[in-house]
Structure 1
C-alpha cells in the first residue's frame, strides 16, 4: 500500500463504502457452515488461499461478517489477495495458528522546506470492527523512528469506555554517533507494547515535538504498528527517507482471527453452523476470551485443514519429511491411524523406540556378561554408598560440634522463643552455592578479620558473605550470643545482618550487599577513579556514621562497641548514604575487669592509644577512631602512610602538630578550602581534636559528636555554600544526557511504557 495521503484517503472512503454495504446487508443469526465450490480460486498470485478464506460468494465461510472475504486483482500489487473493501494487502494466512499477516502503512510526518513548516498529519487509522480480527499484542509493537519524535496510538472514538486505550513512545537523538544499528531503545527509535484484543487504532504525532529545528539532520518522523520480528532499525532511517523507500511505504503486521462470537460449547449446539467439520478435528476457544469466537485444529497425529470435510488426514510419521524419523532403529517404524509404532523384526529382540534390535541367540552371552558385570557394579556401588554414608555422618558430627562451639544451640533456642526475629541460620552448602564455591572472582574485600565475598541467595537477593578468621576460645563461646545481639540492630546507617553460618570451623556472616563500595575508596581511590566529593557531602556521611555509632553505644541493649571504626568499614549505598559495617572486632561493652581483652585488635592509624596501653576497649575507643575518619575527610590523606618520615606517618600526630602551631591550612584538602570559609573548617578540626584527646575521659561521647556534626552540616548547607543533590550526584555519576533536559507535559490518560520515558524528565 503506497505511503501517501491519497492512499490514506482512498482507504477511508473504501471503509465507509464497506459500512454502507453492511447496513444494507441483512444480518444472519447463525450462518450455515458450508464447503467451498470446486471452482473457487485457491491461489492469488504467489499466495495460497486456504479455506475458510475465499474470493467470491460460496468460496469462503459465511459467519455474518467480513472476516474471511478476500478480493484478488491480479493487476494490482503483484496479484496478492486483499481484505474485502479494505485495500489492505495480505502476505500470508495460517489455518493452524489462526493468524493473518497484512501490510501496515508507515505514517510519516515531515518538514517541508518550501513552506518552512511541518506537513499536515494524515492521522492514519484502521477500523476492523466489522470483522473478527484482533491485532496480535505479543508479536506486534508500536514503533516510532526519528529525532525529537513523540507519537501516540489510541483507540477510535466509537470504542467503548472499557476498551479505550492510549499509549506512545518518544525517540530522541542526543548525538549522531549514538545511533546504534539494530537497537530500538529510545535513541533514534523506540517501541512500546499494545494491549491485547484490539480491532482498531489511530496513529498521530504530538505537534509540540517536530523536526522543524533539525531538518538538516533528520527531516521526517515515522510511526507504525509493525511485526517486531520483521523490523530491524537502521541509522539511515533517521537521516534519510530510506525507511519508506526500502520498505515500499509499508511493513508487516500480524492479525489473529476467529470464527463468530460463540464459545466451542455454544457452537457445537448448532451443528449446521459448526465450522470444525473434519472427523479428526477439535475446537479451541479464542485466546481473547468468552464471546470472541473459536478456532479449529486437527487432532494429534493428524494434519490438514479442519474446516474441510475429511480435511484432517493421518500423518505418516514414518515417511513424512517434516518429522524426524521416530524410531531409533531404521526400518522398524509402522504407521497407524493417528499414531505409529516401532517393532523389532522377527528373530530379533530389543527396543526399537530408543535402543537397538539384536539377534536373540547373541542375547544369551550378553545376558551372562551383563549379570557378572552387574554383580561387580552392585558391590562397588554398595561399598561406595557405605563409605558415603560414613563420610556424611562424620561431616555431620563435625558440623554439629562447630555449631555447638559457636553458641548455635543458644542462638537457636533464642530464635524459637522470640517471635518475629528476622535472623537466618544458613548452611555451608547454601553459602557455597551463593558464592560459586567462594570463587576468588567474587571477593570484594579482605581485612584482618576475614574475607568478604559477593553472593546471591536462592531468593535472588544480593548479599555480602564474610568468612571470619579462626576465632579464639572466648569468641567461640560468645559468638552465638553476640550474633543474636547484632541481629537486633535496626538502624538506617548500620548494614543489616541477615544471618550467619555456624557449622564451619570459622563462622560466616551474611550481610545486605551495599553497591557503592567504601568511603576509603571514594576518598583515596586511584586517580581518576572517583572525583573529589564536596565537603557538604563529606559532612553528611560523617554525621550519618556518628549517628550509627551513637546508636550502638547508647540505645543498643546491651551497648555494643564497634572496635574497628575506619573509612574502609563505612560503606556507601546507591544514594551515598553511610552504612557502618564489619563488626568482626565488635564486642558487647564489658561489665567487669574479667572481660578485658588480652590481645589488642584494630587497625594501625586508628587505634586508641589508651586502649593499646590498658587493653581496655571502651566506647571512647570508637570516638578516637572516628576522629581519625574526620581527619581523612578534612585532608584526603591516609590515616597511616609508611612512606613518610617518623613524625608524618600518623595522620593524627601530624594534624595535632600543625593545629598546635596554627598551621591548619597546610594540611587541609585544597578543594575543601575553596568550598567553605575557614570558620567552618576550624570548627570541624576542633571537633576532631576533641575526639583525639589522649585521655578517654576528656573525649566527647558519640551522641555529642553526632549532635555537633548535625549543626555543622546545617552550616555547610547555607545558601552561599550549598550544592544541591542533583549537582552532587552529577559530580559522582556523570552529568545527565542532553535528552534528559527535555520536559514533557502529557495528557493524564496517556500510559507510557518504560521505553517511552527514555530521555524524558517529568515536569516539576
Structure 2
C-alpha cells in the first residue's frame, strides 16, 4: 500500500502527541523511587522500607533502623527489633507502615497487660503488666496512642516519663460493669479508654477495685489493658462473660489486640543538626528539645529521600 505524504504527516503528528502524553503521566524524575540505598531491597511483602530504614545492616543508617524481613511466610513480613534499657532479650515488632515521621508496629503480647483474680495460672493466663521502654533509641511512643481497659471494677494505672529529663507523669483508667448487663461496649460498660501523651517510657499495671463496687466477690475475674492507635477499635462490643477467662476474651475479640502501636522516629536522640546530617538539597530540623535528635526534609522544589539526597522536579 502506498504511503502518501499526508499519511506520513498524520502518523508523525500522532506519534508526537503520544510522546507528549507519556511525558505528562510519567513521574517528574526518578527522585520518588530513590528511597533506598543502591542495591538494597525496597519492600518486604506489602510494606515499603524507606531509608534510613533498611533490610539488612548495610542498607540501613545504623542498627536502630535495621529491618528483618521474614520470607518464610507469604506474604513476607518486616520486623523491627529493640531492647528495653533493663532487659537482656530482644523484642520484635511487626512493621505495618513507615511514614516520614512515624512507624506503625505490632506486638500483641508486649502491648497487653492482664490480670485474673482468684484463678490458677499457666503460661497462657499468667498475669503481667505492660512495659514499653524506648530510652536511648530513636523512637518514642506517639500521642496518637490510647489505653483501652476492659473489666469490672478494674483500675489501670499508667506511669510514663522521659528518661532524658526525668519528667514523670501518670494517668488512670477505671472500668465498671454491672451484673444486670451481658454486653460490654467501648467506651462505656466494662470498658475505659484514655489517651497517652508522648513518652519514651510507659508502664501499665492493673488493680482490683472491687471494694469500690462494695462487692463481696468479683463479678468477673479477668481484666485486660491494651495500648494501641487511637480510634482503631471504633464501636467495640463484646460479651462480658468472655472475661471469665482472659484467653477466651482474646480468642473471641481479636480486634482488641490488633491495633498497631504508633512510634515517632527521628535520627540519633543524642545529636542535633550539623552540616552533614542530611542529603543533598535537603534541610535539617532539630526534632524535640526533650527527646533530642533531628529529621531531614527536601527543600522546596525538590523531592526524594532527604537522607540520601533530593532531586529537582524537572
Check whether TM > 0.5.
yes
Name the structure 2 match of 1:18.
none
Separation in structure 1 between the aligned mates of residue 249 and residue 235 of structure 2, nearest angstrom:
11
Matches within 5 A, 1:315-464: none
User: CA distance change for structure 1 residues 147 and 104 in 2, over 3 Å: closer, same or farther?
Assistant: farther
- Structure 2 distance, partners of 1:113, 1:291, is 42
1:75 corresponding residue in structure 2: 72
Distance 1:125 1:79, change over 3 A: farther
Alignment partners' CA distance in 2, 1:268 and 1:169: 43
* SS of residue paired to 2:166: helix
| Residues in 2 aligned to 1:42 and 1:75: alpha-carbon distance in whole angstroms | 18
* Residue of structure 2 in register with 1:100 after alignment: 103
Q: CA deviation at 1:231?
A: 2.0
Q: Which stretches of structure 1, 4 residues or more, deviate above 6 A after TM superposition?
A: none
Indicate how the Cα distance of structure 1 residues 248 and 54 shifts in structure 2: closer, same or farther if over 3 A, else same: farther
In the superposition, relative to structure 1, how do residues 104 and 150 fare at CA in structure 2: closer, same or farther (>3 Å)?
farther
1:259-302 deviations in Å (ceiling 9; x for gaps): 12367xx5234x2xx1x2132x222331x326611111223444
Q: In the alignment, what sits opposite 2:229?
A: 227
2:241 maps to 239
Instruction: State the SS of the aligned residue for 1:277.
Output: coil
- 1:631 match: none
SS for the counterpart of 1:213 is coil
Cα drift, residue 193 of structure 1 = 2.5
Q: Residue 184 of structure 2 contacts residue 239 of structure 2 at CA under 8 Å; is this kept in 1?
A: no
CA contact (8 A) 1:237 1:243 kept: no
**1:142 aligned residue:** 147
Q: What is the CA-CA distance between 1:86 and the residue it aligns to?
A: 2.2
In 1, distance between residues paired with 2:295 and 2:286?
Answer: 6
SS at match of 1:247: helix
SS in 2 for 1:192: strand
- Give 1:305's aligned residue: 305
Q: How does 1:178-197 map to 2 (within 5 A)?
A: 181=185, 183-184=186-187, 186-196=188-198
TM-score by length of 1: 0.31
Q: Does 1:123 align with 2:126?
A: no
Indicate whether 1:168 and 2:169 are aligned.
no
- Provide the C-alpha distance between the structure 2 equivalents of 1:113 and 1:104, rounded to a whole number of angstroms: 26
Deviation at 1:164?
A: 2.6
Report which of the two has the higher share of helix: 1
Give the Cα separation in 1 of the matches to 2:179 and 2:160: 34
| 2:50 alignment partner, SS class | coil
Determine if contact 2:279/2:309 at 8 Å carries over to the other structure.
Answer: yes
| Secondary structure, aligned partner of 2:218 | helix
Residue 77 of structure 1 deviates from its aligned partner by 8.8
* TM alignment of 1:560-571, pairs within 5 A: none
CA change 1:238–1:285 in 2 (3 A) is farther
* Residues 244 and 250 in structure 1, CA contact (< 8 A), matched pair in contact too: no
Q: Hey, what does 1:284 align to over in structure 2?
A: 285
**How far apart are the structure 1 equivalents of 2:93 and 2:170?**
24
Question: What is the alpha-carbon root mean square deviation over aligned residues?
Answer: 3.3
Work out the CA distance in 2 between the residues paired with 1:55 and 1:141: 30
1:244 CA drift (Å): 5.1
SS in 1 for 2:231: helix
SS of the residue corresponding to residue 214 of structure 1 reads coil
Q: Establish whether residue 89 from structure 1 lines up as the match of residue 94 from structure 2.
A: yes
Shift of 1:125: 1.4
Measured against aligned partners, the alpha-carbon deviations of 1:451-471 in whole angstroms (never above 9, x if no partner) come to xxxxxxxxxxxxxxxxxxxxx
SS of residue paired to 1:57 = coil
Q: What is the CA–CA distance in structure 2 between the aligned matches of 1:242 and 1:278, rounded to whole Å?
A: 52
Q: Hey, what does 1:539 align to over in structure 2?
A: none
User: Contact 1:262 / 1:294 at 8 angstroms: preserved in 2?
Assistant: no
**Structure-1 residue corresponding to 2:8:** none
For 2:262, what is the secondary structure of its paired residue?
strand
What displacement does 1:208 show?
4.5
Say if 2:163 and 2:200, in contact at 8 Å, map to a contact too: no
| 2:38 matched residue in structure 1 | 38
Match of 1:471 in 2: none
Distance verdict in 2 for CA 1:250–1:153, change over 3 Å: farther
Greater relative contact order (Cα 8 A, min sep 6): structure 1 or 2? 2
Describe the shift of the 1:159–1:77 C-alpha distance in structure 2 as closer, same or farther (beyond 3 A): farther
Instruction: Answer yes or no: is the 8 Å Cα contact 2:268–2:292 preserved in 1.
Output: yes
The separation in 2 between residues aligned to 1:88 and 1:77, in whole angstroms, is 18
Deviation at 1:223, TM superposition (A): 0.5
For the 8 Å contact 1:258–1:295, the answer to whether it is kept is yes
SS at match of 1:91: strand
Normalised by the size of structure 2, how large is the TM-score?
A: 0.69
**Residues 206 and 112 (structure 1 numbering): CA distance in 2 closer, same or farther, change over 3 Å?**
closer
Please give the per-residue CA displacement for 1:475-507, whole angstroms capped at 9, x wherever unaligned. Answer: xxxxxxxxxxxxxxxxxxxxxxxxxxxxxxxxx
Kept in 2, the 8 Å contact 1:145–1:190? The answer is yes
Deviation of the 1:247 alpha carbon: 3.2
For residues 112 and 91 of structure 1, the distance between their equivalents in structure 2, rounded to whole angstroms, comes to 37
103 and 304 in structure 1: CA distance in 2 versus 1, 3 angstrom threshold: same
Q: 1:740 is matched with which residue?
A: none
In structure 2, runs of 5+ residues without a counterpart are: 1-34, 82-89, 243-247
Q: For the Cα contact (< 8 Å) 2:140–2:265, is it kept in 1?
A: yes
Deviations 1:357-398 (A, max 9, x none): xxxxxxxxxxxxxxxxxxxxxxxxxxxxxxxxxxxxxxxxxx
> 8 Å contact 1:302–1:313 — kept in the other structure?
yes
1:70 CA drift (Å)? 1.7
Distance in 2 between residues matched to 1:233 and 1:220, nearest whole Å: 21
2:7 maps to: none
Quote the Cα distance in structure 2 between the aligned partners of 1:171 and 1:293.
38
